């Protein structure tokens, strides 16, 4: 049986207020973010506006500002905050034993959509 969680590396290699990307088949990416208080979130690395790379945005609290046109995206829900509308898929993520784990099925499903 395939494990539900995919180990994507040690959490201490992801600095607070930082992000890294995980390339997946087909040229898409998952962006993994760490907030100032150490929580970890994962989204498909595409802004719902014009596919800006969210991993290059600035993290404020539990949102990230897209580097292209400054939309703000919730790291918790993937929803655009403020007056604009849209949503980017959220990938379940957890930290276990110092390792970052992401939901394998959800990651594959989001990227196939
Ligand atoms: S592409 Fe993200 S705000 Fe335009």
State which of 52, 54, 87 you would mutate to test the pocket of ligand 1, scoring each by most atoms of that ligand within 8 A of its C-beta.
52
**Count of the separate structural domains present in the chain:** 1
Kindly give the pairing relationship between strand 80-81 and strand 72-74: antiparallel
pLDDT tens column, 59-98: 999 999 999 999 999 999 999 999 999 999 999 999 999 9
Kindly give the pairing relationship between strand 93-96 and strand 99-103: antiparallel
pLDDT tens column, 43-61: 999 999 999 999 999 999 9
CATH number at residue 13: 2.102.10.10
Atom number, ligand 1, closest to the C-alpha of residue 70: 3
Global pTM value: 0.92
pLDDT at residue 110, rounded to an integer:
66
CA 107 – ligand 1 centroid, Å = 22
Measured between its terminal Cα atoms, the distance across the chain in Å is 24
Residue identifier of the C-alpha nearest atom 4 of ligand 1 = 69
pLDDT at residue 111, rounded to an integer:
62
3-state helix, strand, coil in the chain (%, to 5): 15, 40, 45
By residue range, what is the domain housing residue 32?
5-112
pLDDT at residue 109, rounded to an integer:
74
């Amino acid at each position: 049986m395939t494990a539900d969680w995919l180990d994507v590396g040690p959490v201490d290699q992801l600095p607070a207020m930082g992000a890294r990307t995980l390339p997946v088949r087909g040229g898409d990416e998952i962006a993994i973010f760490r907030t100032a208080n150490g929580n970890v979130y994962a989204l498909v690395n595409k802004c719902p506006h014009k596919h800006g790379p969210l991993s290059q945005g600035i993290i404020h609290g539990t949102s990230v500002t897209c580097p292209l046109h400054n939309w703000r995206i919730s790291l918790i829900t993937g929803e655009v905050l403020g007056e604009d509308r849209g949503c980017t898929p959220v990938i379940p993520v957890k930290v276990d034993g110092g390792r970052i784990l992401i939901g394998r099925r959800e990651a594959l499903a989001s990227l196939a959509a």
